[in-house]
């Protein structure tokens, strides 16, 4: 399901009994409290990872006068991407079931609450999930909520997640304004992801960018950040030559 489908479906009431739940509640019980290993159900052996895993990527989202912008690179290291994809599928199924049962879509805040509830039992385990739910609904308007694998849930106007987020925040903090036009907001998001991928070894490849409003969502054509790097180097070289000429 596309990013905005998740963004717009958001707000589900929490289940109070296993009888009415699509997923048994014991499914969400982590396999082991030991963060260095996990035990398979009905097995006495413990499977240990042969080496530590490093997680990395760059994702961001922010709210401006024209809606919500969400952007991310397409490189993800180790198991972080797999965990996020699994929980995206679980969440997609749950909000779809909610829509079928109640004949209305789940709000963003409700979806974030549901996801936080499902992830909290995995606190302290090797599960690595950090999702930013973004979109628009009648209850909250433009909305941006961060949920991570320990069950934390934060709502704000700007978030960047991943190993490249410090570099992305550096660009966003310097250029983000409420009054940005759509083109300016898109340019800022591209710049933030590009700078992060250039400095962070765990981020890179392409950039995916989405614009979300009350009327729906749109996705820009995927762009190769390598080409952006060469364009940036060419621009800097041209600026230096012009500066030398003026002097």
Which residues are known to be catalytic? 57
Q: At what angle do helices 108-119 and 80-102 cross, to 10 degrees?
A: 130
Could you tell me which residues come within 8 angstroms of residue 129 by beta carbon, excluding any fewer than 6 positions away?
80, 83, 84, 87, 119, 147, 148, 149
Distances (CA, A) of 50 to 12, 26, 36: 39, 28, 10
Kind and range of the H or E element at 216? Answer: strand 216-219
- Alpha carbons 89 and 23: distance in angstroms, whole number: 13
Distances (CA, A) of 151 to 19, 122, 214: 23, 8, 28
What angle is formed at CA 24 by the lines to CA 22 and CA 26, rounded to 5 degrees?
155
The position carrying tokens 């489908």 is: 5
Contact in structure between 143 and 108 (CB atoms under 8 Å): yes
| DSSP string across 177-196 | -TT--HHHHHHHHHHHHHHH
């Amino acid at each position: 399901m596309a990013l905005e489908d998740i963004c717009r479906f958001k707000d589900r009431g929490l289940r109070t009994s296993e009888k009415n739940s699509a997923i048994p509640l014991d499914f969400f019980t982590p396999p082991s409290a030991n963060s260095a290993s996990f035990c398979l159900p009905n097995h006495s052996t413990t499977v240990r990872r042969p080496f530590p895993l490093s997680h990395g990527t760059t994702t961001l989202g922010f709210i401006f006068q024209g809606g919500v912008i969400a952007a991310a690179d397409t490189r993800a290291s180790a198991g972080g991407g797999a965990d996020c994809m699994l929980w995206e599928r679980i969440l997609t199924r749950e909000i779809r079931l909610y829509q079928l049962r109640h004949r209305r879509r789940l709000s963003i805040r409700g979806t974030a609450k549901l996801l936080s509830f499902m992830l909290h039992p995995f606190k302290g385990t090797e599960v690595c999930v950090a999702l930013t739910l973004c979109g628009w609904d009648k209850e909250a308007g433009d909305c941006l909520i961060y949920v991570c694998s320990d069950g934390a849930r934060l709502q704000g106007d700007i978030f960047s997640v991943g190993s490249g987020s410090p570099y992305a925040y550096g660009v966003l903090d310097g250029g983000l304004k409420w009054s940005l036009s759509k083109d300016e907001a898109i340019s800022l998001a591209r710049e933030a992801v590009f700078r992060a991928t250039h400095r962070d070894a765990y981020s890179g490849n392409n950039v995916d960018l989405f614009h979300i409003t009350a009327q729906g969502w749109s996705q820009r054509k995927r762009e190769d950040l390598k080409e952006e790097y060469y364009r940036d180097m060419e621009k800097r070289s041209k600026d230096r030559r012009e500066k030398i000429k003026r002097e």
